[in-house]
A and B are shown apart, each in its own frame.
Chain A
Amino acid sequence: MKEQTLSVPVKMVPQGRLAMWILIAGELMIFGGLIACYLLYRLRFPEWGEQAAHTSTFFGALNTVVLLSSSYTIVKAHEAAIKKDLQKITLWMSVSILGGFFFLINKSIEYTTEISHGFTFSSPHLQESGNTIGSLFWSFYYTMTGLHGVHVLVGMIVMFVIMLQARKGKNLHRVELAGMYWHMVDLIWIFLFPLLYIAK
């Protein structure tokens, strides 16, 4: 107990929440840049629609439902954290982590199907058949969903660590921070889903 007792001053927003907002703003700029690049190319190449037709709208929609539900459960965990109900926190956070897990399983099924059809990072068969512009779509697809997938994975690890602490009643305020991060992951997916799956 040293640093905490030492600090005197004014507190406007709780420290962790403030830092999290700044981090989220920074993350949104990363994905914002990527999405802006994608949109500029998408407007230039209407033929990307043919490639987007190969992505599985069903799995995309399922994943959207899964992520949205896990956002709901992390809110329930936050609610439990306010009431200091340790069992409920553990329960709802585990459900959220399972949601992330389910998301990644779906994603890997999708990736496997697409790769087995020859749609890879640089899609050599499209390039050989002269459809080099189509291969660029897949580069974007894997970069955007891959980067998002990494964020899902990080979110799961963060939630797991915080759950272990919260189970013992430590650092309950961090449940909210994990929730904020998880909402951001969710929000980004809501942009990726129509751009990569629905717009054909």
Chain B
Amino acid sequence: MEHSTHQLSFWRKYLFSTDHKTIGAQYTIVGLVMAAVGGFLAYVFRYNLAYPGENIPLFGELGAQQYNTFVTCHGMIMVFWVAMPVLLAGFGNFLIPVMIGTDDMAFPTLNMMSFWIFLLSAIVLMASFFVPGGAFAGGWTMYPPLSANGYMNTDPDFWTAFFSGGSMMILAVALEFIAMLMGGINFVVTTINKRAKGMTPFRIPLVVWFINIASVIFMFSVGPLVAGAVMLLFDITVGTGFYDPARGGDPILFQHLFWFFGHPEVYVLLLPSLGVLGEIIPVFARKPLFAYKKIIYLAIFSAVLSVVVWAHHQFIAGIDPRMATFFSIGTIIISIPFAGIFLSFMATLWGGSIRPTLPMMWALGFIGLFLIGGLTGLFLGSNTFDIYAHDTYFVVAHFHYTLFPDIFFGFFAAFYYWFPKFTGKTLNAGLGKIHFWLTFIFFNCTFFVLFFNGLAGQHRRINDYSAFSNIIREPYITFEKVATVSAILLILTQFVFLYNFITSLRKGKSAVKNPWDANTLEWVADSPPPHGNFNPYPVVYRGAYEYSLPGVEKDFIPQNRMSKEDSFEKDLYETEPAHGYVN
């Protein structure tokens, strides 16, 4: 092909595409399919918790070993195959090029490869359910000695060990890391090198900043875990003793390596969603984002701190109490930058003319729910309380109150906000509101009661509580059932979203270029943006959050408008012709 053509074959357009929007959609769709798998696993083991030993509809009976498998894989899938692809890869691919005003990623082929490696990792993970012994059942943290000894593969043969659930889980996670590393390199290089003319660092929208900070934290924290996972793989397959105390090894070492990655990972997942809030809240409060630069500094500060707080996951693992105090203090300090970021969002809302649109509802829901998750995190960060609450349902409720808003409220806020842009269609707002309110209510009903069960001493990794008299009494039995019924309803609610998504995609009204009157560059492009996004390329003259500026005809002024006084009717956007753009 001599010149750029837009008549790409079906394969090049939808499957082996190098276009960032298609790759973003691929990541998001695979992420949502995996969310359905993770949700189904949650449904099965939640049902078992409320009605132990009973026949589970659509599944059958759940054995104790299978229960462990399901809990482990639910955690693994939700963190590595839902949150990572949807929040980091999905948002990053969709948003970075259009928000910084360029045509595509810096390395489009690398981007495509990153998705296909990710898909392979998901296939390996799903395949591990069908190997002898089933998928990995040692908890999502993969702690040795449980994960390293061959309790699921008593046969010492190399290939049997290699195709055990544990090895395949490590392999799948390794492939997933490779995919995300490729994506991360792409995001950072694209943001540094491919910005539109005039897009200075402090004119870059917050979400692009945050995705980049998240990518950097990910790339720098994942290395030691890669080394640790290689060692674990050798422990399983060739019989080394890296984590075997009988041979001088140390199982705590793996915990350190795991959480050195695992805790920064929390912020890797949190930052892209916070960035989305940073886009949505100013637009629907019609006010500039409060303290834009300070928010970025706070995020960088939290990124630095995030790699020195990891051992708060190990307070009861037998680490030195002096060390525990250090990590306790670090953990409590890290809440300061996030409190700062959330306060800035509050200050943005203060005195604004708030438009309660769907994306705004999800964003405000996120803030409200995350507050509960964040505050209970403060309790757990203190090692004295954590010794009591460790590994109970209090912890489960805590991290679901942080991760559920982060992953799903963050995703849905972004979804309802950018859907018109990337599909060119409008969603049904009524169905969207039903979706929001039902999700909000059922989520709270599912997890709030678990705080009480946790404080009553319900341990998180036990499938049958009949021997625990502190749990087998009222009101905890009822709470267990409330949580289960609500969880089922929460999953069913998502069919409203699915229906809305599919019908709007097929029959929705056509969307205009800039339905929310927003400033950032993606709203300058057509809906949906064509291959190459902009024609001609935008030139940036101002920051991303100049809303309700005095002397401007309307209450917003797009980033590519040179002069405040220009009439909006005269010309739509200030641009310069791009060179060599074919078509």
Contacts and interface: CB of A to CB of B under 8 A. Distances in A.
B430 interface: no
B351 interface: no
Contacts of B473: none
A13 B532 CA distance: 23
Given A12-B193, A33-B257, A122-B240, A3 B578 contact: no
B248 A9 contact: no
A136 B241 contact: yes
A133 B240 CA distance: 11
B241 A139 contact: yes
Nearest to B109: A3
What are the 7 A-B residue pairs with the smallest beta carbon separation, nearest first? A29-B223, A33-B224, A5-B580, A133-B248, A139-B240, A132-B247, A33-B227
B197 A136 contact: no
B246 A132 contact: yes
Interface in A57-98: none
Most chain B CB neighbours (cut-off 10 Å) among A6, A25, A41, A135 = A6
Interface in B214-228: 219-228
A23 B532 CA distance: 27
Interface stretch (B99-107, B118-126, B544-552, B565-573): B99-107
Given A25-B219, A29-B220, A132-B246, A37 B193 contact: no
A10 interface: yes
18 contacts: A5-B580, A5-B581, A6-B104, A8-B197, A27-B223, A30-B224, A33-B260, A34-B227, A37-B227, A37-B253, A121-B234, A121-B240, A122-B238, A132-B246, A132-B248, A133-B247, A136-B242, A136-B247
A19 B184 CA distance: 10
B195 A29 contact: no
A13 B193 contact: yes
Contact of A31 (B102, B227, B239, B247): B227
| Interface size classification for chain A | 35 or more
A18 B102 CA distance: 18
B231 A22 contact: no
B42 interface: no
A5 B580 CA distance: 6
A45 B482 CA distance: 53
Nearest to B200: A10
A23 to B, nearest CB: 6
Contacts of A7: 102-104, 194
B123 to A, nearest CB: 24
Contact of B185 (A19, A33, A121, A127): A19
A26 interface: yes
A11 B248 contact: no
Nearest to A14: B193
Q: Is the interface of A mostly helix, strand, loop or mixed?
A: helix
Given A6-B104, A30-B223, 10 more contacts: A6-B103, A9-B196, A19-B185, A26-B220, A26-B222, A33-B260, A37-B253, A121-B234, A143-B234, A147-B230
Contacts of B223: 26-33
A15 B108 CA distance: 12
Most chain B CB neighbours (cut-off 10 Å) among A3, A23, A132, A133 = A3
A43 interface: no
A2 B12 CA distance: 15
B230 A25 contact: no
Given A33-B227, A122-B240, A15 B106 contact: yes
Given A26-B222, A29-B224, A37-B257, A2 B193 contact: no
Nearest to B221: A29
B317 to A, nearest CB: 16
Nearest to B235: A139
Nearest to A17: B189
Contacts of A23: 181, 185
Contacts of B239: 121-122
A9 B228 contact: no
Most chain B CB neighbours (cut-off 10 Å) among A33, A45, A132, A133 = A33
A47 B247 CA distance: 13
Interface residues of B, number: 55
B467 interface: no
B219 A40 contact: no
B264 to A, nearest CB: 11
A187 to B, nearest CB: 15
Contacts of B195: 9-10
A139 B228 CA distance: 13
B578 A10 contact: no
B537 interface: yes
B582 interface: yes
Nearest to B5: A2
A158 to B, nearest CB: 14
B4 interface: yes
B268 interface: no
B580 A122 contact: no
A8 B196 contact: yes
B492 interface: no
A23 B220 CA distance: 10
B249 interface: yes
B188 interface: yes
A2 B3 contact: yes
A30 B226 contact: yes
Interface string B143-176: 0000000000000000000000000000000000
Given A5-B580, A19-B185, A33 B228 contact: yes
Contacts of A121: 234, 238-240
Contact of B226 (A5, A15, A33, A135): A33
B324 to A, nearest CB: 18
B192 interface: yes
B194 A9 contact: yes
Contacts of B322: none
B9 to A, nearest CB: 16
Contacts of A40: 253
Contacts of B181: 23, 26
A2 B227 contact: no
Contact of B219 (A15, A22, A33, A127): A22
Contact of B230 (A44, A122, A132, A143): A143
Contacts of A26: 181, 219-220, 222-223
Contacts of A37: 227-228, 231, 242, 253, 257
A41 B580 contact: no
A133 B246 CA distance: 9
Contacts of A9: 101-102, 193-197, 199
Nearest to B184: A22
Nearest to A138: B240
Interface string B545-562: 000000000000000000
Interface string A99-129: 0000000000000000000000110000100
A122 B241 contact: yes
B540 to A, nearest CB: 10
Nearest to A139: B240
